[in-house]
Amino acid sequence: MSNHHSPVILIVDDTPVNLLLLTQLLAGQGYDVRPVTQGTVALAAARTIRPDLILLDIRMPDIDGYAVCQELKADPETSHIPVIFVSALDDTDDKVRAFECGGVDYVTKPFQPAEVLARVRTHLALAQARAALEMANHELQQALAREAALARIDWLTGVYNRSHFYELATHELAIAIRYDQPLAICMFDIDHFKQVNDRYGHLIGDQVLRAVAQTVARQIRAADCIGRFGGEEFILLLPNTNVTSALLLAERLRMAIAGLYINTEKGEIRVTISGGVTERQPADTLIERLIDRADQALYAAKRQGRNCVVGV
């Protein structure tokens, strides 16, 4: 429905007497009535004022009501407006053609005022109900889209969660195998993160996790993705990337985190990360094999003293 307080009804009829009768009848019921006498004017008016309902004659001097209705229904901006044909044509073929053009109802002249008012009320109510249903459906679709998006995201850090990362990684591995392209995986975690939680508390620890995750997310390519693997451990998926390039990226990320000052209510905190990198091998048919090798490389980095990156 329109934003007007009263429903707007466009009346299209080239006969002055009919136009006056309908205008007086509907205006007397509180409707906002807009009368016009030509089909071309009706089309322009419909696109400008967006009426809630159109009462449309068939025989007019410029273009007939059938053509007007067809144009209205072909335009996405006006296709939703219900059209009631009001005509002296009483043949079944005329009525059938009116409905085929997109009309919702047909009133034969000379019309009965009570019948016209009843049909107008009915179709305004139907249009209002349809608009409400469309709005509710739109809101539902938006809610479902938000829910689907949230189901893919780790609520704390804003990066992908583990399950969605697995879906993406499995898909990318299939592409890499099919086209014989390189694919790298990088796993990293925050060094001595337990000490951060023990010293500053879990809320500050959460802040550190978010800062590290978002710092990494801002520095990788659009084709790459980052997921939270668990706790303070994160994982990167790097399509079309070999281990040499992945090591360079991992080292750049390690330096960026090492130089990061995380401002908290308990002061600035600095952390480091350790990382493990691997790339797809010809025998790799499951993404778990790459993740396991990257995990082994990560633990090798920890054994080397942390704050470093190891590739395998």
Q: What integer pLDDT is reported at residue 151 of this predicted model?
A: 87
Q: What is the CATH number of the domain that holds 115?
A: 3.40.50.2300
Instruction: For residue 151, tell me if it sits in a domain.
Output: no
**Same-domain status, 306 and 237:** yes
Q: What integer pLDDT is reported at residue 5 of this predicted model?
A: 73
Q: What is the CATH number of the domain that holds 229?
A: 3.30.70.270
Pick from 113, 143, 173: which residue ends a domain?
Answer: 143
**Same-domain status, 84 and 218:** no
Instruction: For residue 277, tell me if it sits in a domain.
Output: yes
Mean pLDDT of 11-17: 93
Q: Which of 67, 7, 6, 57 is nearest to 36 (CA)?
A: 57
Q: What integer pLDDT is reported at residue 2 of this predicted model?
A: 46
Mean pLDDT of 160-188: 96
**Same-domain status, 132 and 166:** no
Question: Is the pLDDT score of 54 beyond 60?
Answer: yes
DSSP 148: H
Pick from 94, 113, 143: which residue ends a domain?
Answer: 143
Instruction: For residue 149, tell me if it sits in a domain.
Output: no
Instruction: For residue 301, tell me if it sits in a domain.
Output: yes
Instruction: For residue 91, tell me if it sits in a domain.
Output: yes
Strand-strand pairing, 183-190 and 225-230:
unpaired
Q: Which long-range contacts (CB under 8 A, 24 or more apart) does 150-156 make?
A: 154/213, 154/227, 154/228, 156/206, 156/209, 156/210, 156/228
Instruction: For residue 267, tell me if it sits in a domain.
Output: yes
Annotated catalytic, 232?
yes
Instruction: For residue 3, tell me if it sits in a domain.
Output: no
167 and 174 in contact (C-beta within 8 Å)? no
**Same-domain status, 213 and 112:** no
**Same-domain status, 64 and 111:** yes
* 251 confidence band (pLDDT: 50, 70, 90): very high
- Paired with 9 in beta bridges are 33, 53
Q: Of residues 134, 232, 233, 265, which has the active-site annotation?
A: 232
Domain that holds residue 97: 8-143
**Same-domain status, 266 and 217:** yes
**Same-domain status, 178 and 298:** yes
Q: Chain-wide mean pLDDT for the chain?
A: 94
**Same-domain status, 168 and 121:** no
For 58-92, the pLDDT digits (tens) are: 999 889 999 999 999 999 999 999 999 999 998 99
**Same-domain status, 305 and 181:** yes
Question: Is the pLDDT score of 120 beyond 90?
Answer: yes
**Same-domain status, 124 and 199:** no
Question: Is the pLDDT score of 16 beyond 70?
Answer: yes
**Same-domain status, 176 and 255:** yes
Q: What integer pLDDT is reported at residue 86 of this predicted model?
A: 95
Mean pLDDT of 300-306: 97
253 and 275 in contact (C-beta within 8 Å)? yes
Number of domains in the chain: 2
Q: What integer pLDDT is reported at residue 72 of this predicted model?
A: 97
List of residues 6+ apart from 297 with CB closer than 8 A:
187, 275, 276, 277, 278, 310, 311, 312
**Same-domain status, 185 and 289:** yes
Instruction: For residue 2, tell me if it sits in a domain.
Output: no
Mean pLDDT of 140-162: 90
Q: What integer pLDDT is reported at residue 78 of this predicted model?
A: 95
